[in-house]
Amino acid sequence: MAEKLTLSGLNPSDFKGVRDNKNTQLNVLCNSNGLEVCLLNYGARIVSMMAPDKDGKLIDVVTGHSSLADYLATEEPYFGAICGRYANRIAKGRFELDGITYDKFAVNNGPNHLHGGIKGFNSVVWDVETETDNMVSYYYESPDGEEGYPGNLKVHITYELKDDNGLYITYHAKTDKTTVLNLTNHAYFNLSGAGDPSVYDHQLQIFADYYLPTDETAIPYGKPAKVADTPMDFLTFKEIGLRIDDDFEPLRFGRGYDHCYLLNTKDNPREVTPAACCYSPKSGIKLEIHTDQPGMQLYTGNWMTGNLVGKNGQRYPARAAVCFETQHYPDSPNKPDYPSTVLKPDDSFNSTTIFFLTNL
């Protein structure tokens, strides 16, 4: 008997398989307002998010694939996934920690290490610990030395779709050896509906006075720069496409936006505060991002090609999606003046990011 399709048109059977001797599965969350979020334990990733448009019609606002096989073959391996152990980049794939040089990291993005390496957290099967109608909790234990990182690391990720239309992502991690850790979710959003060809018309506001300039390999250098009076300025709502092709060095290097914004948040202790807000005038769908992390990487899908086939036969050309990756700063292990990403055995990593979906 065929399984019931999800609201986003997915067949749960198409996500069942075995990878690394573990079973894969689709987890479907719903709230009392009729919203739906589908997740896959391969990569602990968001596969679809159904949100109400200005007419009340539910549409899928996340790019992705219709089967496990497609995720295994995709040229966009981070679609909706958890990235780690270290999300974003570490320069030249090396750093020093407690007097020890760690340099066994894959250089998988130009001269740098990206998103945890060849087989980061986006490419492993997470155990499903708990599942209810509106919540799923995933677990993964990363062994000492995996992808070059020290320490046995135990990670718990929980997704909860609450009745305030917020998808709450909570992270918890412990290590038995001093290590570095930077986790994020890499969902690709198009608030006009996944498959719409561009996010240029999306209105975006980011609560950040500064961003990190990067070199041609996307590694930060120098001091944080003010966004004011530059194409990086989203302090008030602006179209994403308004200045994305300006003759401005950071945009030339990144082929568009691919930069870490230093959020105007409080430290010690961190509180969950608004980081950004984005909406589509076409659909009326609004996304609010709240987090307790110090930074957010804005990425406008500049390297998407349109070659791959996504859900419902959709293709995703360059800049057909935008990512809001809440995290610590890139290359923090090599930048002692940045907020620390060091995790010690006596401490635990705890963080929360919330994606609120509403309409105008």
Q: Which of 186, 202, 259, 328 is catalytic?
A: 186
DSSP one-letter string for 118-145:
TT-GGGSBPEEEEE-SSEEEEEEEEPTT
User: What pLDDT band is residue 1 in, cutting at 50, 70 and 90?
Assistant: low
pTM confidence score: 0.97
Query: Cα–Cα distance between 33 and 101 in angstroms, integer?
Result: 51
Average pLDDT over residues 285-310: 95
Please report, for residues 48, 158, 162, 168, 271, the alpha-carbon distance to residue 29 in angstroms, rounded to integers and kept in the order given: 10, 12, 10, 12, 26
User: What is the structure's pLDDT at 267?
Assistant: 57
Q: Using the structure block, give the residue that is written with the tokens 């990190």.
A: 212
Residue 43 in this model has a pLDDT that exceeds 90: yes
Query: Cα–Cα distance between 208 and 34 in angstroms, integer?
Result: 33
pLDDT digits (tens, 9 = 90+) for 227-272: 999 999 999 999 999 999 999 999 999 999 999 999 998 654 579 9
Query: Cα–Cα distance between 178 and 234 in angstroms, integer?
Result: 37
Average pLDDT over residues 328-350: 98
pLDDT digits (tens, 9 = 90+) for 84-94: 999 999 999 99
User: What is the structure's pLDDT at 265?
Assistant: 82
Residue type at 40 in one-letter notation: L
- Give helix then strand counts, H and E, for the chain: 2, 29
For the question of residue 186 being annotated catalytic, the response is: yes
User: What is the structure's pLDDT at 346?
Assistant: 97
DSSP one-letter string for 102-121:
E------BTTBEETTSTT-G
DSSP 258: E
**Which helix (H) or strand (E) covers residue 203, if one does?**
strand 203-206
User: What is the structure's pLDDT at 282?
Assistant: 98
User: What is the structure's pLDDT at 308?
Assistant: 84
Residue 97 in this model has a pLDDT that exceeds 70: yes
User: What pLDDT band is residue 3 in, cutting at 50, 70 and 90?
Assistant: confident
Angle (CA) 188 191 192, round 5°: 125
Average pLDDT over residues 346-357: 98
Average pLDDT over residues 202-223: 97
Query: Cα–Cα distance between 147 and 157 in angstroms, integer?
Result: 20
Residue 309 in this model has a pLDDT that exceeds 90: no
Mean pLDDT taken over the chain: 96
pLDDT digits (tens, 9 = 90+) for 116-134: 999 999 999 999 999 999 9
Query: Cα–Cα distance between 138 and 129 in angstroms, integer?
Result: 6
In degrees to the nearest 10, what's the CA dihedral of 246, 251, 253, 255?
-90
